[in-house]
Amino acid sequence: KQEVTQIPAALSVPEGENLVLNCSFTDSAIYNLQWFRQDPGKGLTSLLLIQSSQREQTSGRLNASLDKSSGRSTLYIAASQPGDSATYLCAVKGTSGTYKYIFGTGTRLKVLA
Amino acid sequence: ETGVTQTPRHLVMGMTNKKSLKCEQHLGHNAMYWYKQSAKKPLELMFVYNFKEQTENNSVPSRFSPECPNSSHLFLHLHTLQPEDSALYLCASSPWPGFDTGELFFGEGSRLTVL
């Protein structure tokens, strides 16, 4: 059974810092991995999607990497800004043909001005 | 209008009421999902529909009744709920993973409070 873990659960950093959020999964047989951002009381916004055949994806100041063999993905945020404050979630989809995406509990990020 | 739209955004109901949540997607996707998000817990998948057919029911109590009349609309009918059902209910859609990336897109959610 796939399990997804995100560490740390919460993170507070000063503005301008480069930071890394971690996502671990127990079953390496995945179809893709997706990173999301969630603002309080809102829905999830897709940030990056990495297919199982890819090693990384980039969008602006965000870079996500995937190492299937070790069951890990990292989300790198460069030059963090107060507007980056949100909860970041990762989700993996297995290759079994199911539509099931398994989510981590998220990392709550606060960037201080 | 684009994306995934959910109504209502907020709903307060008593345990004996019957209400419905609505979701509409304008992305041309064929798969639609209901997720439940409770405080300090991972998102819980409730139901999945593919081309109007239910493909996943994650052992959801029968007081939650989904309906998918077409690939663009998804409903969640609620009746005789319990206070512990209070949560943010999120609708999502995706293309069929076999033919596309399978990227998941979410609506803004419906905040449900059961008194």
Q: How far apart are CA B103 and CA B87, in angstroms?
A: 24
Residues 6+ apart with CB under 8 A from A60: none
- pLDDT class of A41 with cuts at 50, 70, 90: confident
Q: What is the average pLDDT across A21-38? A: 94
Contact A101 B50 (CB under 8 A): no
SS (H, E, C) chain B: CCCEEEECCEEEECCCCEEEEEEEECCCCCEEEEEEECCCCCCEEEEEEECCEEEEECCCCCCEEEEEEECCEEEEEEECCCHHHCEEEEEEEECCCCCCCCCCEECCCEEEEEC
Q: Does the pLDDT value for residue A96 go beyond 70?
A: no
Residue B1 confidence (pLDDT): 54
A44 touches chain B (CB under 8 A): yes
Contact A99 B106 (CB under 8 A): no
The whole-angstrom distance between A100's CA and the closest CA on chain B is 7
Contact B42 A104 (CB under 8 A): yes
Chain segment A73-92, per-residue pLDDT in tens: 999 999 999 999 999 999 99
Residue of A nearest to B39 (CA): A105
